[in-house]
Structure 1
């Protein structure tokens, strides 16, 4: 999957835009994110928009960029290790108590 807006991502250019024109930076950032979500399968787009909304809300609650980074990092770790997180889901899938139990009669084969 390719994202045309990020094929030639230039960090210095984005940083200069953020410093010189924060509103233009935010508009471009939103365009790139929306384009990435639009390229995802249709059935995932609603969930991706909801996740982006949560990310934007965490950023808006932060008092500075470092605080936003820490808040987003904590959010990510909760999604991995928290209650009903990724690791819990993997554990549920691999836990042998959740696997169906089968029984069978073993038939001995006699050599001729």
Structure 2
């Protein structure tokens, strides 16, 4: 018999945990103070790092869905001097380890997976 798990908070961490537990056949209940996912704006952009966020999404079986949310070109970097001369221009070639996604879209993806 598996003991159900109670998760307080439907933030990204709580939703990923609930998804992973679900995949392993462990029942969970997520409690959230807000009345609905659309009760407030979910914030801006997030960098999902290759050493913590991406492995969590892989464990949750959501890598393919996550990749659809990535905002292309957001890992480009340009440094200018005080006169506006370009000192460094590194394009986003898609190989970076911290792609950006919209927080609200990521949260909705996690909700839809449960």
Give the alignment's TM-score, normalised by structure 2.
0.23
More helix per residue: 1 or 2? 1
Give the structure with the larger strand fraction. 2
Instruction: Normalising by structure 1, report the TM-score.
Output: 0.23
Structure with bigger RCO (C-alpha 8 Å, 6+ apart): 2
